[in-house]
Amino acid sequence: MNLNIVKEIENQLIGRKELKLVAEHPNSPTPSRKDLLKTIAAKLGKDEKLLVIRKIKSCFGKPVSYIYVHLYNDPKDVFKWEPKYVLERNGLIGGKE
């Protein structure tokens, strides 16, 4: 999988970076959130606990996905600023039983 940063915005008020990435995954389906988190954390050299994937948008008929990520400075800010449904999708809190 090839991963490129397209856009990076520093949000100093909240203490995070808002990233837009493009993932090229030829001959394979859209990667899972867990795989993407590991790959993005390794590329940026950051801890996975500081990353939250907000959205994965796949292109129909192309092996390309757009990934929207928030990179926080402090792990406590993740729970302060992200909505509950995003935390559930990223496996940071338990969902409905």
Express each pLDDT in 47-64 by its tens digit.
Answer: 999 999 999 999 998 999
CATH topology of domain 2-89: Alpha-Beta Plaits (3.30.70)
Domain regions of the chain by residue span: 2-89
Task: Tell me if 68 sits within 8 A of 33, measured CB to CB.
Answer: no
Q: First vs last Cα of the chain: how many Å apart?
A: 34
Q: What is the pLDDT along the chain (97 residues), one digit of tens a residue?
A: 899 999 999 999 999 999 999 999 998 999 999 999 999 999 999 999 999 999 999 999 899 999 999 999 999 999 999 999 999 999 888 865 4
pTM check: above 0.85: yes
